[in-house]
Structure 1
Amino acid sequence: MLPKLLYPNKDLSTGQRKWTTMESLKMFDNGLISNSSYYKELRNGRGYIVTYDPHINFSLKEILVADFVTLNENVYLSSFVIDHCINVFNRINGNKFQIISVAKSSIIFGDTTLTKPFVDGINFLKGDIAMPVCLYNHYVLVMYSSNDMRLTLIDPLANESILVMYSSNDMRLTLIDPLANESIIGENYRSRFQKFMQIKQESPCGIKLSFVNHVKQADSYNCGTFVVYFFERLVRGESLTYDLNTAEYRSHLKDVLLQNSVNMKQLCLYCCQIVDITNSFQCRSCVRYIHNKCLLSVREIEANIKASEKTVNNICDLCREN
């Protein structure tokens, strides 16, 4: 625990300086602030890195604050956050699945003109594969078992009650069964995945399609939350029918990401590269190091801050704005 600090915070719109009390910051052993409310997108949209994971088996390694804050309620989750959450749950539960990123999975199931270089670039291992997909601004989870060649579609919006539509003009009653629609959508996923596998020359035919019972999404923005939740339950071998409080779960995901990041103590707060502490700035509040060049390159944006004010009380910009 660090002592309480008083630090000056300049309001650039009025030019007035005011003093704010900062409470002690408690940190995880990996050097990240444990209070997830500390991380928020700043006024100038700077790209502070809040978590870093070198274990992810594709290009994504870092989450910026702009992505991290999508875990707040009433917004869509960032694909980067979904990728990280799924990979973290997979890693802490024994790496039971091979994970394909949202970006690549969405091309597999959404691009009708798959190229062989792209297909060859995805190396499917034997066993179980998890593919979070985003098509038409909606996330679904697709699971594939190479053992029995079974493709399972888990759509957060599926399995809802039958919808009854009545038109008084022609006195027509229409029943809309989402399960029937799910079968049509699922067949589309199966055919596109089979095309992908044919290009890979892995499985020319015989891929089976299946569905599972699961709790349903009741709003228009939590599909990504449910996809992560479904995967966490699957990797733990638990039922998908257990009810979900999305607000509490989003808060839980923040803690999971922060706590399971790699050790950040010797990594620059801005660029996430290793720092030489003899040539770096250290914040007295969060005790994170920042390359001098990173500090200057970001603060040059704020022309209203004089050179003598750049390191006021040795408090970094993130802490000064929180």
Structure 2
Amino acid sequence: MITGDHKLTAIAIAKEIGLVSGSDFMVLTGVELDKMSDEELVKVVDEVPIFARVSPEHKVRIVKALKRLGHIVAMTGDGVNDAPALKLADIGIAMGIKGTDVTKEASDMILADDNFATIVRAVRDGRAIYDNIRKFVRYLLACNFDEIAVITTCVLAGLEPALLPLQILWLNLVTDGGPAIALGFDPPDEDIMDRPPRDPNEGILSNMELFILVSATFQYIGTMGAYLLGLYLLKDSVAEARTLAFIQAVLFELFVVFNCRSEKHSIYKLGFLTNKPLLIADLVGIVLTLALVYAPPLQVIFETVRLTVYDWIVCIVAASGGWLVLPELFMRPLPFFGRGGKKRRTVES
């Protein structure tokens, strides 16, 4: 709490709102701050819950001290005197009803209802949006690396390509597109506000590299396996073997998207019906895929052939690793899958 009010008033309000209790806490006043150097302030600012009788210059010094310690500083204010500190803070929050125009201009966020609980909801929404962006990236990367590996393998082995350019475009634009967008409709995890704040220097791919690698490996094995099975064991034509590989890749990507919905909970815990747009996108993808295999005009364009029931069983089994195995690998607390990051403290002034 940083306020211009008297020290005793500040303590009384802090106790009333639950910021402090008892008497074992520090309170610094503006007079005391004037006697401290910036280095001295940095040493104690983390341990001081209340600053009283402060001026706008003091508020700026406090924000600077918190930022020097590596904290992400959110500061609220409503008066003209708060504007410099709001501008300096990582997140300046102005009051929409009581706040002055100057304060609103200096802020990053305006509370239209002047309710601090709105800040919590905003943090929750922000975390949910960031999580959904990570899911989107996680899914697309997990589904695309294997295609590169499959084509490279065919070139090095002197085989006919397992996937044609038009089929790869279909995978990337149609099969992946709908489910990837539908991930944006995912509701936030129930424990999203129990997590520590993420490190601002942490990349968006942090802690998902292993999932992407293992997922791409599963799909690579399934796609190449289906292709080689059709080519050599079933003695199919290249077109038939290629159709097997293509359908396997489509099904894998439609299956594995469910495992990209959460980094901590499997689809069996989340439930298939908690994201209906994703379910619809998957069903549309399956219908369109059936059209590629059984509609003669599309067969000609995409160079596919009709598949037998046995062929479909092969494709479904080969694609099921993304649905059945990955959750068991990544949703358990295995020590070598290191989840989360360093715990950090967020200071809201």
TM-score over 0.5 (shorter chain): no
Q: TM-score, normalised by structure 1?
A: 0.22
Bigger RCO (CA 8 Å, 6+ sep): 1
Structure (1/2) with the larger strand percentage = 1
The structure with the larger Rg is: 2
Structure (1/2) with the larger helix percentage = 2
